[in-house]
Amino acid sequence: MIPYARELGALALLAVAGFAGVQTIRLSTEKAAHFQTKTAHAVQLQRLAERAKDVADAAVIAQQAQYRYAAAIDAQRSEEKDHALADNDARRARDLAGSGGMRIPATCPRPAAAPSLPSATASSGVDAQAADIPAAFRQELWDLRAALITEQAQLLALQDYMRRLAAGDKP
């Protein structure tokens, strides 16, 4: 038998056990480092998620403020438009009732059958026939005036909104 075989076997067994122990320690150190890295990444992801939520919340708040800002301008201009349309409707009603409403300056030629009439209206003279607009055309004119009021109000509201934004007004 080999001298010191028993001691060599025990020594080999101790070496293997020591190597296994070193490997176990190294493995547990790597596991701990890996756990710390995963924990750090989880913390970073949590912070990113919180920041993204804060940014999204701020965007929603800014958008709501923008809507309120535009609604305030719209309310002001709508009130002005409604007043102008009500005035237009009142004038239309007076015109349809025959108590005056639409005034269009016009001159009326004298009828060809009466060449002997005086050329100027005087207390003793006779003027040509009164100028009149057909009823259907009057309605179209009032409708066009109402459409113009609406378009003008929309344009003024948009200009007001853009002017305030360009001036740096915050909603």
pLDDT in tens, the chain (171 residues): 566 777 777 777 777 777 777 777 777 888 888 889 999 999 999 999 999 999 999 999 988 988 888 898 899 999 999 999 999 999 888 888 877 666 676 666 666 665 565 555 545 445 555 567 777 888 899 999 999 999 999 999 999 888 888 887 765
In this predicted structure, what is the pLDDT of residue 56? 96
Identify the residue whose tokens are 């190597």. Answer: 19
pLDDT of residue 16: 75
Domain-embedded: residue 68 = yes
- Structural domain includes residue 103: no
Q: pTM for the full model? A: 0.53
Angle at which helix 5-97 crosses helix 135-166, to 10 degrees, equals 140
CB-based contacts of 77, cutoff 8 Å, min separation 6: 153, 154, 156, 157, 160
**Cα pseudo-dihedral 49, 54, 57, 62, rounded to 10:** -140
Residue 83 lies in a domain: yes
3-state helix, strand, coil in the chain (%, to 5): 75, 0, 25
Cβ(118)–Cβ(125) below 8 Å:
yes
* Structural domain that includes position 154: 5-97+132-166
- Position 6 scores a pLDDT of 74
pLDDT of 4: 72
On whether the CB atoms of residues 77 and 157 are closer than 8 A, the answer is yes
Residues present in the chain in total: 171
Q: How many domains would you assign to the chain?
A: 1
At 124 the pLDDT is 47
How far, rounded to the nearest angstrom, does the alpha carbon of residue 8 sit from its chain's CA centroid? 87
Q: Is residue 58 part of a domain?
A: yes
Q: Is residue 127 part of a domain?
A: no
Q: Which helix (H) or strand (E) holds 25?
A: helix 5-97
Q: Is 76 inside any structural domain?
A: yes
| Residue 126 located in a structural domain | no
